[in-house]
Each structure stands twice: as C-alpha cells, then as structure tokens.
Structure 1
Amino acid sequence: MANRYPLPDLNSLPEDIRTRILQVQEKAGFVPNVFLGLARRPAEWRAFFAYHDALMEPESAGRSSGLSKGDREMIVTTTSSANQCLYCVVAHGAILRIYEKKPLLADQVAVNYRKADISPRQRAMLDFAMKVCQRSQDIEEADFQALQAQGFDDEDIWDIAAITAFFGLSNRMASFSGMLPNPEFYLMGRIPRDKPARA
C-alpha cells in the first residue's frame, strides 16, 4: 500500500512551509509524512497546522491548559484508534510514549483505554473524548459534571472536545489518502534511551 497522492518535493513548496518542515526534520530527524502529504495544498496546510498548534501547543500562543502534553496525545491516540486511522495511532502513539515515559501506554489506550495504566482523571477525560468522537449528539450536563469532579474546568473540556474533533478530520484525511506512518514512528519511545537494545 502506498500514498494515493504522491508527496510533493520539499524544494517545490512555498518558503514558509519549507522552513517549518525543515525545522521539524531537524528536531525529529525525519519528516513526518503528514507534513508533506498535506503540503500539496498550501492554504489548507497553513490552516491545518495553525489549528493543530493552537490545540496541541497552546503554551506557545500564551494560553495555559489543564491538559498535559501527554494528555493531549492520549486523546489523539485513543480516538484515532476508534476511527481506525493507522497513521495517527502510530505517529501519536509514538509521541505519547515519549511524553509519558511509558513504553506500553500507547498500545494499551489504542486497543482498550479502559484497561490501560492511566489515572481516574485520564479515564474520565478519555470517556468524554470517546463520546465526542462517537456520539457527540448525546453529550449532556452529566458529562461535564463527571469531568468537573476530576478537576477539569470548562476550558479544559473545550480542549478535550476540540482535540477530538480536529483529529477526526485528520484521521479521515490520512485514511482516505492512504497516508502511511513513517517507519521511525514504530520504535520511538519503546526502549528507554539509557538502556540500549540487545542484539
């Protein structure tokens, strides 16, 4: 299986997009396929990553959030699994393993978050995210109360819902276009860096 839409050549892209992709490459050591896959339409790429950054990196925009980076990636991994998005489960699962420093966690939440090694607070967060993902029309006051009982405020609840909804879009774009996870994602965060793998 291959990407249905060929990835554009990096040197053919507008300067602002090329600069951002090169920054990601320098930090990660490779270019995640989503950055090139969406770059075939520059205006959509800019809109997509502006909203992505506002949700996933609110601190960089001066906004505080009650969700940790690990919480956000946990939402993405869990709901992407429900949407059967291979790219997002593998890519964001890798980031989740790194942020939480738990090599088993991403696989657990991707398969069945109810049996995962997570806190009651995170369980409530994922219960809500999954309801937004699958039955948003059924959200009611009791859902907000369950989150408030775990210390989430209304802005945190907005974040949970918005991340879920945004990645519902991302999941569908990745799936229909045949976007494949980079091989590098599969091993990231599985083996602690201070313990080299045995041959």
Structure 2
Amino acid sequence: MRTISQIIDDAPVTPEIDETFKKIQNALNAPFTPHFFRVWATSPESLKGIWPVMNHILTRGRVGRRLKEMIFVAISSLKSCHYCEAAHHAFCLNIGVSQAQINTLIEDHTISETDSAKDKAAIDFAVKLAKDSHTSSEQDFETLKFHGFDEEEIMEIIAMSGMAVFYNHLANATKINIDEGFTKILSKHGKNSSV
C-alpha cells in the first residue's frame, strides 16, 4: 500500500507556491526545497500556515539555530520521526554540530554536559515537554535562567519543542520520503541514509 507521500509525490506548483519554495530554501539555507514542503503544496492553505511556523520559530529569534536544530533532532528521534530526524541531522551537520553530538541526540535525546551544559539544559527541557507538556515548572525556568537563558529565550525553547512535535506529527502522518539531498549529506558522513 502506498503512503500519502507517495500518492501526492508531485503536487502542482503554482507561481505563488514556487515563490514560497524559494523563500523556504533561502530561510533554511538549503540547496533544494525539502520534500516535506513539496507534499504539503497539495494543500496551499495548509502550506501557508505550516511554513511560517518553522520560519519564525526555527530560523529566527534569540536562541540560535544550531541549538534549535539539535532540539529538533532529539525530539524527532524520541517521536520516531525518521524524516525530520534525517532532515535536521543533515542541517545540524551543515551548521557545525559534530557527528558524535548528533549520535547522542539520536540515541539519548540529549548531549553531554561536557559539550555544553547550557545547550544540554535547553535540550533536556525541550525533550521533557515533548514527552509531556504538562510537566513544565518554575524549577525548569530557574534551571534555564541559571544556565544563562532569559524569559524570552525560554519561551523560544518551549515554542521549538512544540513546533518539533507538530512537524513530527505532519511528517509521520504523511510518511514523507526522505530527500535524496539529505541522504547524500548523511552518507558523506558515514550515516545510513534510511535513518
């Protein structure tokens, strides 16, 4: 039986959607439009809502994209979202996250404190919320503030956690095919392209 992603593999691309694809490539600093967005182009109104969420939460704000990508990989592995894990694994590699750090994100949904205690605190909090959003507490805020995050940055981490869960849901439900561009990046680093 074919997946939703295979059924709507080639959505029609209107000039407006093509313009959105160019914006996506530019904002993500990607050499191609990820298959995820190409599948969602089948529903232009949905795409109009889906893309801005990622654009504002992942690529903008005061928390750096490097940390946000690591959060995305950790949560995608936790949620068994093979597409998002592969895509954001590739983005992590392209922005300087080491393969050893990515392996730990995939296997343990965190990183070592020796890599960065501050990043670890943010990742651990985001993963905790992805497991159960009811678990946030004042103590979490105090821990993150201790590591140097202010309230605005903590809210960005919460938004990033929720966005990752949302995108994982969309990718898992449609069973998005992993882009050849991502598999090439991963294979260059000795990772199995099927993730």
Query: What is aligned with 1:110?
Result: 106
Query: What is aligned with 1:149?
Result: 146
Q: Is the contact made by 1:2 and 1:178 (CA closer than 8 Å) also made in structure 2?
A: no
CA RMSD, Structure 1 to Structure 2 (Å) = 2.4
Measure how far apart 1:173 and its partner are: 1.1
What percentage of residue pairs aligned between the two structures are identical? 23
**Matches of 2:2 and 2:51 in 1, distance apart?**
23
The number of aligned residues is 185
Q: Is the contact made by 2:78 and 2:109 (CA closer than 8 Å) also made in structure 1?
A: no
Q: Is the contact made by 1:79 and 1:164 (CA closer than 8 Å) also made in structure 2?
A: yes
| 1:89-168 alignment, distance < 5 Å | 89-114=85-110, 116=112, 118-168=115-165
Q: Is the contact made by 2:69 and 2:92 (CA closer than 8 Å) also made in structure 1?
A: yes
**Matches of 1:2 and 1:107 in 2, distance apart?**
31
Q: Is the contact made by 2:109 and 2:127 (CA closer than 8 Å) also made in structure 1?
A: no
In structure 2, do the counterparts of structure 1 residues 89 and 99 end up closer, same or farther at CA, with 3 Å as the change threshold?
A: same
| 1:170-181 alignment, distance < 5 Å | 170-181=167-178
The counterpart of 2:69, out of the listed 68, 73, 76, is 73
Per-residue CA deviations over 1:159-192 (Å, capped at 9, x if unaligned) read 1111111121110111111112113213427758
Uncovered stretches (5+) of structure 2, i.e. residues with no partner: 190-195
Q: Is the contact made by 1:87 and 1:179 (CA closer than 8 Å) also made in structure 2?
A: yes
Per-residue CA deviations over 1:79-132 (Å, capped at 9, x if unaligned) read 111111000000001101111252333222111144546310011001100111
Name the aligned partner's letter for residue 21 of structure 1. Answer: F
Q: Is the contact made by 2:84 and 2:168 (CA closer than 8 Å) also made in structure 1?
A: yes
In structure 2, do the counterparts of structure 1 residues 133 and 157 end up closer, same or farther at CA, with 3 Å as the change threshold?
A: same
Q: Is the contact made by 1:90 and 1:185 (CA closer than 8 Å) also made in structure 2?
A: yes
Name the aligned partner's letter for residue 44 of structure 1. Answer: S
In structure 2, do the counterparts of structure 1 residues 24 and 44 end up closer, same or farther at CA, with 3 Å as the change threshold?
A: closer
Uncovered stretches (5+) of structure 1, i.e. residues with no partner: 59-63, 193-199
**Matches of 1:124 and 1:71 in 2, distance apart?**
11
Q: Is the contact made by 2:40 and 2:46 (CA closer than 8 Å) also made in structure 1?
A: yes
Q: Is the contact made by 2:77 and 2:109 (CA closer than 8 Å) also made in structure 1?
A: no
Per-residue CA deviations over 1:117-167 (Å, capped at 9, x if unaligned) read 631001100110011101211211001100000000111111111111112
| 1:27-106 alignment, distance < 5 Å | 28-58=30-60, 64-65=61-62, 67-106=63-102
Per-residue CA deviations over 1:11-41 (Å, capped at 9, x if unaligned) read x333221123256568644331111111111
Name the aligned partner's letter for residue 49 of structure 1. Answer: W
Q: TM-score, normalised by structure 2?
A: 0.84
Name the aligned partner's letter for residue 52 of structure 1. Answer: M
Deviating 4+ runs (over 6 angstroms):
none
Q: Is the contact made by 1:55 and 1:162 (CA closer than 8 Å) also made in structure 2?
A: yes
